């Protein structure tokens, strides 16, 4: 029989888009509970979402997600639910299997980002074959990343209509095919078109792999899972030039780089088909409703997703429009997106800066040029390890200390406040050790704090957006994905000219100065985040705590 108890809310999705009303039933159970719990202080009683104004975002999404509660008007015992301890619920699957799915989600992102930078090692080979300029050669990377701007707008909402699994399989079938197209490209136009289309379909993991992680993990473990997952977007771009560079030095035809990407994508496709189940709860509810109707012969069993209609205009305005509305109306989100986009763009600037410094100045061949990116990767690994060993345990303790109320989102920003000055120092270090007479080890080692700081900034701000925006976190992440993809695609187009005209010292210093300019953003959010969140139209807020609670420093920041 279908469950007739009040519906259990799924966890917040990390998809690139928020779904239409009712369809997006991805709210964190603890976050919801924090808004209906009361504490021992009468002045800290949290108002029920049902008592909020109709245009309040919290109230709107609570109603959309939970529907009427048992005993209320409109409640239907035949609406199918899956309790979190039910074997059918993704969060109840074995930990070993869920960690496998987490690693698979990370490999899918690694695949996409590896493909984005793989042409770096064979650029000169393609220039010899197609006779295009270095600027056009750069487009083989930029156009792929430009596909990340379009892809999330498609794959995020689509996954909430047809499920995560179907989106992954469909996108990887075409993505694999476009890698074949690159390998067989007869001219410049063909390879540029296939690279753009490949990036568009490769964006599916960027928008939905995080959603899979949030589907299967509770908040206690999600931080650890996201730490491993966050490493994948930076491991791919740094490993791509290593592999393609040594393939070029070994005399392997440049087309084999794209054949390698084809085999990698094909292997991921096979793993998806045979090992990835559906993890999106509304789709699982539909399957359960169909099974119950078949087993009982009673057609009254139903799932919410079955009652949704796909209308183009509401889809465009509600699903695709909200991220951009938030970007315009939310100064906090705009500042976060600007900072993360700059950091992301800097990763792709290095694909133009490293050849100038290590090839032209230090005489590296393409193979060793690829190896020069490894310190960034090692720095990222070190950053993840430090987060798991130091900061994540502190956050788990904070959850117990703040229970039943949620931990203030500002606690997520601690690692970003360490990473912000580290990022600026890394650019100055890299730039002013790039003289030909200075050992190449000096600029190489600068990649360690660079990778470390990048991972910490992304971990902190990703988690902050999720914790702060709760019900519309997916839309905030969508705005972030699109803006940083624009930066990632655009920065390489002027990077070579910038380093040639300004010189490696001042070009890197310019990035360092911009990092200093943007560096106060996590500090400002940490200090004034509660005030900013209280004034936001999209952030669910709590009433100010009582005076005796305010006197405790840890709860002062939790006033919003």
pLDDT score recorded for residue 220: 67
Contact 203, 147 (CB under 8 A): yes
pLDDT at 68 over 70: no
More confident residue, 70 or 342: 342
pLDDT score recorded for residue 314: 66
pLDDT score recorded for residue 189: 93
Helix, strand and coil in the chain, % to nearest 5: 75, 0, 25
pLDDT at 56 over 80: no
Mean pLDDT of 537-560: 47
Least confident of 195-199, 227-231, 358-362, 520-524: 227-231
Mean pLDDT of 418-437: 95
Whether residue 394 has a cis bond before it, omega within 30° of 0: no
Least confident of 145-159, 495-509, 522-536: 145-159
pLDDT at 505 over 90: yes
Q: Which domains does the chain have, with CATH numbers?
A: 78-310 (1.20.1250.20), 317-540 (1.20.1250.20)
Contact 430, 443 (CB under 8 A): yes
pLDDT score recorded for residue 11: 41
Cα–Cα distance, 15 to 31 (Å, whole number): 18
Please write the tens of the pLDDT for every residue from 287-321: 999 999 999 998 888 888 887 765 666 666 666 67
Q: What are residue 457's phi and psi, to 5 degrees?
A: -65, -45
Least confident of 157-161, 169-173, 343-347: 157-161
Least confident of 184-188, 261-265, 537-541: 537-541
pLDDT at 254 over 50: yes
State the first-to-last Cα distance of the chain, in angstroms, to the nearest integer: 41
Least confident of 27-41, 194-208, 427-441: 27-41
Distance from chain centroid for Cα 532: 23
| pLDDT, mean over the chain | 80
Q: For residue 73, what are its two tokens?
A: 């008007």
Buried/exposed 94-107: b ≥16 CB within 10 Å, e otherwise: eeeebbebbebbbb
pLDDT above 70 covers a percentage of the chain that reads 80
Please write the tens of the pLDDT for every residue from 16-34: 333 333 333 333 333 333 3
pLDDT score recorded for residue 366: 80
pLDDT above 90 covers a percentage of the chain that reads 40
Contact 19, 319 (CB under 8 A): yes
Q: How confident is the model at residue 360 (pLDDT cuts 50, 70, 90)?
A: confident
Contact 59, 541 (CB under 8 A): no
Q: For residue 211, what are its two tokens?
A: 């959603």
Mean pLDDT of 79-87: 85
Mean pLDDT of 523-552: 69
Q: How confident is the model at residue 52 (pLDDT cuts 50, 70, 90)?
A: very low
Cα–Cα distance, 126 to 254 (Å, whole number): 7
Look-up of token digits 């032209």 = 360
Q: How confident is the model at residue 74 (pLDDT cuts 50, 70, 90)?
A: low
pLDDT score recorded for residue 450: 95
Cα–Cα distance, 20 to 398 (Å, whole number): 34
Please write the tens of the pLDDT for every residue from 220-242: 677 778 787 778 877 888 888 88
């Amino acid at each position: 029989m279908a469950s007739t108890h009040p519906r259990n809310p799924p966890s917040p999705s990390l998809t690139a888009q928020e779904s239409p009303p009712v369809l997006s039933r991805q709210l964190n159970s603890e976050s919801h509970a924090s808004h209906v719990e009361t504490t021992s202080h009468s002045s800290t009683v949290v108002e029920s979402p049902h008592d909020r104004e109709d245009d309040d975002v919290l109230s709107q999404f609570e109603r959309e997600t939970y529907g009427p509660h048992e005993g209320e008007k409109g409640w239907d015992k035949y609406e199918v639910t899956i309790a979190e301890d039910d074997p059918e619920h993704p969060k109840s699957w074995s930990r070993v299997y869920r960690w496998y799915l987490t690693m698979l989600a990370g490999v899918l992102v690694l695949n996409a980002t590896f493909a984005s930078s793989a042409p770096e090692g064979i650029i000169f080979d393609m220039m010899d074959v197609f006779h295009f300029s270095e600027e056009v050669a750069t487009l083989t990377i930029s156009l792929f990343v430009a596909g990340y701007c379009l892809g999330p707008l498609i794959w995020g909402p689509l996954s909430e209509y047809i499920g995560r699994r179907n989106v992954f399989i469909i996108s990887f079938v075409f993505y694999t095919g476009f890698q074949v197209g690159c390998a067989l490209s007869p001219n410049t136009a063909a390879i540029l078109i296939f690279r753009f289309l490949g990036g568009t379909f490769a964006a599916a993991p960027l928008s939905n792999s995080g959603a899979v992680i949030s589907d299967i993990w509770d908040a206690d473990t999600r931080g650890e899972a996201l730490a491993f997952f966050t490493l994948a977007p930076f491991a791919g771009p740094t490993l791509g030039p290593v592999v393609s560079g040594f393939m070029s030095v070994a005399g392997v035809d440049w087309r084999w780089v794209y054949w390698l990407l084809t085999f990698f994508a094909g292997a991921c496709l096979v793993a998806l088909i045979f090992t990835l189940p559906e993890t999106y709860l509304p789709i699982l509810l539909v399957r359960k409703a169909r099974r119950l109707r078949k087993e009982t012969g009673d057609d009254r069993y139903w799932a919410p997703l079955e009652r949704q209609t796909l209308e183009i205009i509401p889809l465009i305005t509600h699903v695709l429009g909200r991220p951009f509305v938030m970007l315009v109306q939310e100064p906090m989100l705009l500042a976060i997106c600007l900072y993360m986009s700059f950091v992301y763009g800097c990763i792709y600037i290095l694909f133009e800066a490293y050849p100038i410094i290590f090839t032209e100045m230090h005489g590296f061949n393409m193979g060793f040029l690829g190896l020069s990116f490894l310190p960034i990767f090692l720095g990222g690994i070190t950053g993840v390890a430090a987060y798991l060993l130091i900061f994540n345990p502190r956050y788990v303790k904070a959850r117990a200390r703040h229970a039943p109320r949620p931990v203030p989102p500002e606690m997520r920003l601690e690692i970003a406040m360490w990473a912000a000055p580290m990022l600026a120092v890394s650019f100055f270090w890299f730039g002013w050790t790039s003289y030909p007479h200075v050992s190449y080890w000096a600029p190489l080692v600068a990649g360690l704090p660079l990778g470390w700081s990048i991972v910490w900034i992304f971990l902190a701000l990703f988690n902050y957006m999720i914790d702060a925006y709760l019900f519309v976190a997916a839309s905030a992440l969508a705005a972030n994905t699109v803006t940083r993809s624009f930066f990632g695609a655009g920065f390489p187009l002027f990077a070579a000219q910038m380093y040639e005209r300004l010189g490696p010292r001042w070009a890197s210093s310019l990035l360092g100065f911009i990092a200093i300019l943007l560096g106060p953003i996590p500090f400002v959010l940490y200090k004034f985040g509660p005030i900013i969140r209280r004034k936001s139209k999209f952030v669910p807020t709590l009433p100010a705590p009582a005076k005796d609670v305010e006197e405790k420093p840890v709860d002062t920041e939790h006033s919003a």
